[in-house]
Amino acid sequence: SGSAANLVLAANLARLLQTSTYPAYSYRVKFCWWGAEEVGLLGSAYHAGVAKNSTVLGERIQDYLVNLNYDMLGSPNYIFGIYDGTTANRNTTPANAIPGSVRLSELYRDWFINQSLPWTYTEFSGRSDYGPFLAAGVVASGLFSGADDTKTKDERDYYDQLLGQGQGGIAGATHDPCYHQTCDSMANINPFAYEKMVEAAAYVLEYLGRLPDLKSWLYPASQIKELEKSLSNTSLQKYDPAAVFYQGNNL
């Protein structure tokens, strides 16, 4: 569902940019589909590694302002999950990437609130393809509809409250019973969840694309300086994708 959403965003942005009524962004947008995520984020880690060593303008890691990650967006027993930037690992995440990541979490959250939709913060653990970029100091965020975690009764009741009785899913069941299973097909996607997640992703893309100074918005100097001061006694450790990625036994 995440790959399909990425393609939908790319195709629609390309279509809009070909019209005379849709002004171009001031920033490049690169749509990526990473390989070998489940065996250690190999594709995204390789790309980030090449960017770190690149001297080609536009391809260097410092030329990447933000990474938006859409791994799973249509889980059948879904949550409207938003990566919680405040939970970024302070031991592996450079201070300059944290304030902007938190700001993005709040941007997604406010969209769901304004749409009268439920939302859930999920751990920003580096366990998806944004991880190598975040560890390289690139602001990151994204959406996640849930995998093998169990939907709690409180979670179900909260979603019922905003979506209508019986619409909040099944308490005690995993968010995606077909995660890493052969039943993970088109029929496994929840159309309502997928549509709303794509709408949220499109909103954030458009919002960021229209900012006059995206870099300053994502990397607020005063907040970064304050955070660096509070983390002055913390030694930054090397991020190891193989130690944090999702591992499935039934691929």
**143 DSSP β-pair partners:** 70, 82
Question: Nearest to residue 77, comparing CAs of 17, 151, 10?
Answer: 151
Whether 91 contacts 234, CB under 8 Å = yes
Phi, then psi, of 80 in degrees rounded to 5:
-90, 80
Structural element, H or E, at residue 143 = strand 139-144
**Tokens in use for 66?**
């933000």
38 is catalytic: no
Q: How far apart are CA 141 and CA 93, in angstroms?
A: 13
Q: Of 37, 106, 155, 195, which is the active-site residue? A: 37
**Tokens in use for 119?**
């939302």
Catalytic residue numbers, as ranges: 37
